[in-house]
Amino acid sequence: EIKKAEVKISEYELKIKNLYYQIGKEGVQYGDEKAPLDAEPVKKLIADVRKFETEIQLLSSRIAEINEQKKAEALSKKKLKKIK
């Protein structure tokens, strides 16, 4: 499950990188005449970036949670061995 989450995180990071590239391209089209961040296409791209960042945070939290569970299980097994 951790591997799947790590792969998904990598995919999202690549998507974010591509979105930033698209945001830059949109910004160049506007030049100095308008604020590119106010343009509707750019707002959508930024919203997509935020969505992927949220997903990355959720997946990272899940990975940390799984690692904590594994540590707790290993500690529990260690304690059981000492008792025997």
Position 50, amino acid: R
Q: Within the chain, where are the H helices?
A: 2-30, 40-83
**pLDDT the model gives residue 84:** 60
Average pLDDT of the chain, as a whole number: 89
CA 3 to chain centre: 14
| pLDDT surpasses 80 at 30 | no
**pLDDT the model gives residue 79:** 74
CA gap 4, 14 in Å, rounded: 15
Write the DSSP symbol of residue 38.
G
